[in-house]
Amino acid sequence: MFSSKLDFVTTDPGREFPAGFSLWRCMFSSFTQAVRLLVSGDPEVYSIALTSLMLSSSSTVLCSIGAVPLGVSLGLRKYRGKKIIVITLNTLMALPTVVIGLLVYSFISRSGPLGGLDLLFTPGAIIIGQCILSFPIITSMVYSGLSRIDPRLTETLTTLGASKRNIFWMTLREGKITILSAVLAGFGRVVGEVGVSMMLGGNIRWYTRTLTTAIALETSKGEFELGIALGLILMAIAFIVTFTLHWMVKRDG
């Protein structure tokens, strides 16, 4: 950790550097140790990464089961109350993760209506919170993408004698990249959140500790090596998601 007067610099509580020691040299040392943790296959590092990926993937898949159909319905159909639903979804997209965590916590805590299920501080609690977090994002992106499809597509298919079912599936096929992009964006949102995982999972070692909660904890303890190692994994995941999005768009174009 760093002293307020910069009298010394240390990357862990047991190793201090004398006054005047280069801050960059200290950071380089921490980065080197972080790389060693990754290369050596440190079990805790990869356990945390695997936990994050499993929780984020599960919540994204479960959320998509409801979010994608709702987004498709909003994008392709007209009915009463549609505008209210869209406004509500856009509002929920800006909802802080700690607010979602607090909301779910109030329901699944022992004094809450669902307290008997013993979900608090379990992977299931994190998945519930992440589903709520990603639902408006996936739904809004699907709706926004499908609503921009050329309306002449439906007219052309109708002229060619296509049934309503065929028109529906052809429209979905036309907007498949939009749907996949929305799902990946939802995954990227939940894998990088910290509020929900911390409040509902409890950051329990070998059980509910995720990349973001572990980074926050280890940095506060002065364990910059582990924090940087986990940060590199998180950046790699973000890069893969972004690269996949660009690749799909380019391939479709």
Separation of alpha carbons 120 and 111, rounded Å: 11
43 vs 41: CA distance, rounded Å? 6
12, 113: one domain: no
Question: Do 124 and 181 reside in the same domain of the chain?
Answer: yes
* 122-136: b (≥16 Cβ within 10 Å) or e: bbbbbbbbbbbbbbb
| Domain span holding position 34 | 1-40
99 and 197 both lie in a single domain: yes
CA distances from 22 to 10, 34, 215, 222 (A): 11, 19, 24, 17
Of the candidates 220, 50, 187, which has an alpha carbon nearest to the alpha carbon of residue 123? 50
- Are both 25 and 12 inside the same structural domain? yes
- Residues 137, 119 share a domain: yes
Q: Are 241 and 190 in contact (CB under 8 A)?
A: no
Regarding whether 211 and 141 lie in a shared domain, the answer is: yes
Do residues 161 and 89 touch, judged by C-beta distance below 8 A?
A: no
Residues 157, 32 share a domain: no
Q: From first to last of its 253 residues, what are the pLDDT tens digits of the chain?
A: 444 433 444 445 555 545 445 667 777 777 888 888 888 888 999 999 999 999 999 999 999 999 999 998 898 888 888 999 999 999 999 889 999 999 999 999 999 899 889 999 999 999 999 999 999 999 999 999 888 887 777 778 788 888 878 877 888 888 888 899 899 999 999 999 999 999 999 999 899 999 999 999 988 888 788 888 999 999 999 898 888 878 877 776 6
Per-residue tokens: 244 = 């996949």
Number of separate domains in the chain: 2
**Are 35 and 49 within one domain?**
no
Q: In terms of domains, do 36 and 50 share one?
A: no
Residue 129 near residue 62, CB atoms below 8 Å:
no
Same domain, 152 and 194: yes
Q: What is the CATH number of the domain that holds 54?
A: 1.10.3720.10
In this structure, the answer to whether residues 151 and 33 fall within a common structural domain is no
Cβ contact 123:55 at 8 Å: yes
